[in-house]
């Protein structure tokens, strides 16, 4: 049973949950398509997550999204995992089904769909430069390797992290050439030789953050995708655009990973246009 008999509840779980955009887009979409549901943001300590999830299923929730570090906790705690979660080593979406709890990761779908939407192409045959090899960078690099990238260049201040990711790529996609670059000069040269640049570091989350790479790293035949979405254009996107590159931020990835989660839970298609408008208004304001 849901919250009011027929209303089906969903939620995003985090600790502290802070300001989440997931309720904004999901509730707007459910209202638009006439789906009797509600999407909540709930503060759950990661140590309690694996107790809370089955309790939510018993309460009638249809599914949940998870933030960091809950994604990793669910990945290790769930007995049933979709291939998408296995690839990423994290579950950002959990479906409560008749056969139990199933973990998914919709970030890869969101990333690829956003690339297609923004640039009219994805990663097949691309030389890809990944700036930042942590959680998001690791996930996008592994996915790109699996989806047909010809080569991947890794850049990160943490050399051990680069080494680990390079090893993972070699295991999952042995035919993909992987290079690790250290030092600004080498990064600029390597970036300039790539078709797609993915900015996956946290630099740019503050308005005053400067671009990690100069204009010499970019040119007109490139696409540059920054996973950060809280500003229409981060410093690195501005530098790349001025150098002639096509640019896009991470709002489309946020949108499409959420849309995919809703379909997994309900087998219904959300109103993606309404979701996009609600996100843009919440993040940038109606004047942007």
Kindly report the CATH number assigned to the domain that includes residue 57: 3.40.50.10860
Same domain, 113 and 157: yes
- The model's pLDDT over 9-23, given as tens digits with 9 standing for 90+, comes to 999 999 987 668 999
User: pLDDT digit string (tens) for 196-253?
Assistant: 999 999 999 999 999 999 999 999 999 999 999 999 999 999 999 999 999 999 999 9
**Does residue 3 form part of some domain?**
no
> Is there a domain that residue 78 lies in?
yes
On whether both 87 and 148 belong to a single domain, the answer is no
Q: pLDDT at residue 287 above 60?
A: no
> How many Å from the N-terminal Cα to the C-terminal Cα in the chain?
41
> Does one domain contain both 67 and 79?
yes
The reply to whether 211 falls in a domain is yes
Percent of the chain, pLDDT > 70? Answer: 97
Question: In the chain, what's the furthest Cα-to-Cα distance?
Answer: 62
Q: Is residue 126 part of a domain?
A: yes
CATH (domain of 193): 3.40.50.720
Catalytic annotation present for 71: yes
Do 243 and 118 share a domain, yes or no?
yes
Split into its structural domains, the chain has a count of: 2
> Which pLDDT value is given to residue 18?
66
Q: Quote the CA–CA distance of 224 and 129 in Å, as a whole number.
A: 9
Looking at residue 2, its pLDDT comes to 43
Per annotation, catalytic residue among 8, 71, 80, 206:
71
Asked if residue 204 and residue 121 are part of one domain, the reply reads yes
Tokens in use for 233?
């254009």
| 149 and 267 inside one domain | no
Same domain, 167 and 39: no
Given a cut of 70, is residue 288 above it in pLDDT?
no
What does the block give as tokens for 134? 């942590």
Q: How confident is the model at residue 5 (pLDDT cuts 50, 70, 90)?
A: low
Verify that 165 and 269 share a domain, yes or no: no
Q: What was the pLDDT predicted at 20? A: 83
24 and 94 share a domain? yes
Q: What pLDDT shows up at residue 259?
A: 98
Domain for residue 1, yes or no?
no
Residue with structure tokens 């509840």?
9
Judge whether 10 and 39 are in contact, CB under 8 Å. yes
Q: For residue 138, how many other CB atoms are within 10 A of its CB?
A: 23
Show the tokens assigned to 2: 């849901």
Q: 46 or 88, which is more confident?
A: 46
Residue 2 lies in a domain: no
**pLDDT tens-digit readout, 95-113:** 999 999 999 999 999 999 9
| Same domain as 259, residue 280 | yes
The Cα–Cα gap between 259 and 86 comes to 20
135 and 238 together in one domain: yes
Instruction: Give residues with Cβ within 8 angstroms of 261, minimum separation 6.
Output: 63, 65, 92, 93, 104, 106
Q: Are residues 134 and 203 in the same domain?
A: yes
- What domain range is 138 assigned to? 108-249
Q: Which distant-in-sequence residues (6+ apart) come within 8 Å of 151 by Cβ?
A: 127, 128, 176, 177, 178, 179
Tell me, yes or no, whether 199 lies in a domain. Answer: yes
pLDDT at residue number 1 = 37
Q: Note whether residue 170 is domain-resident.
A: yes
Q: Compute φ and ψ for 128, nearest 5 degrees.
A: -120, 130
């Amino acid at each position: 049973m849901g919250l009011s008999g027929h209303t089906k509840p969903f939620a995003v779980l985090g600790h502290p949950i802070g300001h989440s955009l997931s309720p904004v887009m999901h509730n707007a979409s459910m209202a638009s398509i006439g789906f009797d549901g509600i999407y909540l943001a709930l503060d759950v300590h990661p140590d309690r997550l694996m107790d809370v999830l089955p309790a939510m299923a018993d309460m009638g929730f249809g599914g949940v999204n998870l933030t960091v570090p809950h994604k990793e906790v669910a990945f290790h705690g769930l007995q049933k995992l979709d291939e998408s979660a296995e690839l990423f080593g994290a579950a950002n979406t959990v479906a409560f089904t008749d056969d139990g709890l199933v973990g998914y990761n919709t970030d890869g779908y969101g990333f690829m769909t956003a690339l297609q939407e923004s640039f009219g192409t994805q990663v097949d045959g691309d030389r890809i430069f990944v700036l930042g090899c942590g959680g998001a960078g690791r996930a996008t690099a592994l996915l790109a390797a699996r989806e047909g990238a010809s080569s991947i260049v890794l850049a990160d201040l943490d050399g051990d992290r680069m080494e680990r990711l390079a090893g993972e790529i070699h295991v999952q996609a042995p035919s993909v050439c992987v290079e690790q670059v250290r030092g600004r000069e080498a990064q600029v040269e390597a970036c300039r030789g790539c078709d797609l640049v993915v900015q996956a570091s946290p630099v740019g989350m503050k308005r005053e953050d400067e671009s990690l790479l100069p204009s010499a790293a970019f040119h007109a035949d490139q696409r540059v995708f920054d996973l950060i979405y809280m500003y229409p254009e981060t410093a690195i996107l501005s530098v790349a655009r001025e150098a002639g590159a096509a640019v896009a931020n991470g709002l489309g990835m946020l949108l499409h990973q959420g849309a995919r989660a809703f379909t997994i839970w309900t087998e219904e298609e959300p109103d993606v246009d309404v979701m996009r408008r609600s996100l843009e208004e919440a993040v940038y304001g109606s004047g942007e």
